[in-house]
Structure 1
Amino acid sequence: MAVYPAPLLALVLLLGLPAAGPAEQRAAPGKIVDYRDVQPILVGRCAKCHAPQGMMGPAPEGYSLASYAETLAQGERARVVPGLAEASELVRRIRGQARPRMPFDGPPFLDETEIALIVAWIDQGARDAQGNPAPAPREAKLRLHGRLGANGQLDGLALRITAASRVEGAPQPGDYVQVRGRLLEDGSLLVERIRRR
């Protein structure tokens, strides 16, 4: 698969065409996944809205998925955490762990093969089209939604709640919550604020 040049990408987005067929979206087991593998999914399904001039006007929350650099851009928070799909808002949205589930025009949502490919790409370091892994974010700010687990986790992601964490609405295990915080080097999330939604 080739990375789409900007004029072709703009045409794909404008016409709402799928960027790749299902066969092109599968990665062989053990294959190194890079941006060329996930670009057709992100462009074909996500960048319809998440583009500078998408179907909803400007990209929602200013987050564009129309290019590699924009997909990894952190701005006020990281939405893709290279090496840690569980902490990536993008993954949580396409799985339906966070609401609203994406793509916003679903159903149909992404199928399990497409989701697995994006998860593998992120877990393998969110490699660019040349196969180079993205730098690991340090102290990345995150804003995640999901279900609070009985063991202090957010859908399997370890949370570190301290005396300095703001806890609002007395969230209990099983509650749908929003968590804001910073990613620590051990892959856990240091909670700055957690609230029931």
Structure 2
Amino acid sequence: MFRRTRAGLLSVSLLPLGIGFAIQPEEPKVQSGPVSYTRQVAPILQARCSECHGATTKEAGLDLSTYASVMKGSEFGTVVEAGDAAASLLIEMVTAGEMPQDADPLPAEEIAILRAWIAAGATNN
């Protein structure tokens, strides 16, 4: 009887561990090779940011509609530190959940694309 009880308790105690492994989020998928500003980054910025940070709205003086304006930054300074994603305000804002305001947060895959682009030097390609 005690063997059955121990086996049952062991199975129940290991169950959360198995469930934890089963529900781990997938790693974001980023295509191999260099990230393209034109094909990958600009569409993310257009879809997620342009309502408030476009050519006509420019909240906080930030226009994310062109490569030049992205690199120019806002009235508070640069938002992209080429080669250093961790120091880039753009990454800080989207990972902290502060941006986009009043909208769904960026998916991990899109954040990974932005990070990879900045880390690779934030080139206009």
Report the TM-score, using the length of structure 1 for normalisation.
Answer: 0.45
| Counterpart for residue 122 of structure 2 | 126
The alpha-carbon deviation at position 80 of structure 1 amounts to: 0.4
CA distance in 2, matches of 1:117, 1:52: 23
Structure 1 pair 49/76, CA: closer, same or farther in 2 (3 Å)?
closer
Unaligned runs of 5+ in 1: 1-25, 130-197
- C-alpha distance after superposition, 1:68-97 (max 9, x if no partner): 111110465111000001110000000017
Between structure 1 and structure 2, the one with the greater Rg is 2
The alpha-carbon deviation at position 119 of structure 1 amounts to: 0.3
Aligned residues: 95
| Counterpart for residue 104 of structure 1 | 101
1:49 aligns to 2:52 (yes or no) = yes
Percent identity, aligned pairs only, is 34
Unaligned runs of 5+ in 2: 1-28
The alpha-carbon deviation at position 59 of structure 1 amounts to: 1.2
Please, which of 36, 40, 43 is the counterpart of residue 34 of structure 1? 36
CA distance in 1, matches of 2:113, 2:70: 15
CA distance in 2, matches of 1:44, 1:76: 23
Structure 2 contact 55–64 (Cα < 8 Å) conserved? no
Bigger helix share: 2
| Counterpart for residue 25 of structure 2 | none
CA distance in 2, matches of 1:113, 1:62: 27
| Counterpart for residue 62 of structure 2 | 63
1:64 counterpart letter in structure 2: D
Structure 1 pair 127/92, CA: closer, same or farther in 2 (3 Å)?
same
Instruction: Name the SS for the 1:128 alignment partner.
Output: coil
Q: Which has the higher contact order (CA 8 A, sep 6+)?
A: 2
Please, which of 111, 117, 127 is the counterpart of residue 113 of structure 2? 117
Bigger strand share: 1
